[in-house]
Structure 1
Amino acid sequence: MKKDLTKRATRLARHSFLALPLATLISGCTSLGISGEIPNTRQHNARTLESLTQPSDQQACYDREKEPYTPLVDAHFHPRPFGGPAINAEKLHAMLEGQGVRFVNYFGIGQILELDSGCNYYLDCPGVTAMPSIKNDFVNGMETVAYPSDNLHITLSMTFMDLAHPDDIVSLIELYDREYPGMFSWSGELNVVKQALLKNNHEPASLENIDQWGPFMDVLRERGIPVTFHSDLGNDANPTQFLPLMEHILETYPKNKIVWAHMGLSKELGNMDPARHVEILSGLLDTYPKLMLDISWDVLYNEYHQWGEIYIPFLNAYSTRILPGTDFVAANYKADDQYGKELEVTSRVLRALDDEAFENIALGANYFRLMDLNYHAPKVCPADDNGNR
């Protein structure tokens, strides 16, 4: 693994801007013209959902110099907020399609705030309880049927699961089967431990709780349903405080398709040594072939100042194990352009990936393979000897 990363890092270093830390790439680098948004690369993706049904070799190749660096897939998206009204479904679909997103995971907020609290965002309301619920999932299911889209593939996800109290999870899955037969093909984002929610009476799962997950994890495994876990790696005081929880999940359920949201990072862990972080992730990916990571949430890009220097070789080396996403929460008070801004920030790292990794992550090859979907990622146009496509 170390030799592979070194080899890839050497190749990347030949392209000077790829060797820079991401903080340099996204701010203050006016000589490269990439301070903040890149004006000439923010065109929206013109590729249709229908075009992606064609085999890769029958599609026009993807020109990275002319087509967007933002992904075709948003594998971590919340169409409903923690509390208060959401962006309406038709506007939401238009927003996603307009940004070139063709595949989206609808993660309901599993831990919604008390309905009579008048609170929209949990951090604004310490003491207001956020409890697991089926409410958001059911609304997502109804709206997906009521407002179909020809140019957007929506994957519905079960997010109701209370991982600290798993006894009724299987019976509730059976309720979903009756009410929405065959419609929910993902699970999560499920909170194992989310420190940001502790002031809202979030109860983290324990090692003992994890041992009790067998019945519902068996259902997910048998159906080939991936599950996305939010499990904080740790915090600034103890960067690996909660790592044993994820290690125990993977050891106990190695045959399940598990996605670790945000690569375990959070606002509470803003200064972890990137080399140590990559070492942990590499070890887990090497040990557990079913594990994948998502790189959603702008916290990853805002907090990690050596992101490019350390992480780009890692993402290239493990490019078949990574999913893109925004972690956007569709509260209706947000500005119309907010999704586009968050998509741009969370996509900046994709610019620096090699072509194989870009195809796997941004163009959807990993997502289609994980979901066994009959869609195909376009091939990236090859570059000539001078680096031109």
Structure 2
Amino acid sequence: MPLPPILVDPSALSEFAAQLHREPVIAVDLEADSLHSYQDKVCLLQFSTPTATVLVDPLAIGDLSSLKAVLADGAVRKVFHAADYDIRCLYRDFGIEINGLFDTMIACQFLGEEKVGLADILNKYFDVQLDKRYQRADWSKRPLEEGMVRYAAEDTRYLLQLTEQLEAQLVAKGRLAWAQEEFVLLEQVRHNSTDGPLFLRFKKANTLERRQLAVLEELLQWRDSEAKRRDCPPFKVLNNAPLLEVARSMPANVRALSKVEGMVPRLVGRYGGSLLSAVEEGLKVPEEELPVYPRGEPRQRDPEAEARVLLLKKWRSKISKELEMDPGIVINNASLEQIARRQPNCVEDLAELKAMKNWQRQVLGKGIVAALKT
């Protein structure tokens, strides 16, 4: 199969965008460099129509505003697989909004597919083998290897055919409206704000005492600066696990640092001085200025509500088997906990629970109320 064209000129992109706007449905995907750069960016866009696949190089073109109209037009269906990250990146980098979404991964989840990754789905439905070598490739490098171009094209080439098959199955199961509600909600996702202390976005920071938090923040600020200097993701400077242990133990010297779990000699030799300096800065923070991890209002233990959660989980296990869907897709734990605390007496009471989707109230509502009355 010949290589797809790669657009690198703004005028060519504008003409192509007009062509896309005449299509009733298009498949879209993107490749980014999140594993290779400090600030990830969109490096390639892939589009497939029923007759062609075309790649767009945003690093060469820069301005993608000519794509805004077609991608925001809900009359043109946009097919993605696992659209969450793509939607966030397109809005962040180019102000592009997506309307008219059909996400084939969500469709697969609602159909009870055990494996919903694109490689697995294409293999199952079309006997296509994606070359996994390029999943972690650096898409910011130019020129793109021929294998990378072929791999990128395969990501969208089959999505329109896949959509036809998945949509037919959703209709047959009476679940198309469920998926469509999820699509509309997904269209609204955006990247979270990066304001505030770095420890607020660090997993397990809530397990630390205030002094340890101060040390952790200094360590994270150092790692972030180092990653920015090297233009690489922070985890490539130092993983979270040893960084957390350094904050927890607050070593005073190289000997103590070398005993910290995960701090192998190579890391101690390369970063020991910087880490110890960060620890020292954290220890200097005055007591009254120590950071506090925001924990919200303390929730009092409610044994009766906890018992209701167990009842609901038991019910969910049963209904998930009947629907042949993953329990977390049917309804997540957070929603079950909210329901258990509210203890609705009828289906109408579920309308007050914002965490529940409309399809969940309609399909699951009677079962939830009945389970709580057992």
The normalised TM-score by structure 2 is 0.21
Q: Which structure: greater strand fraction?
A: 1
Is the radius of gyration larger for structure 1 or structure 2?
2
The normalised TM-score by structure 1 is 0.21
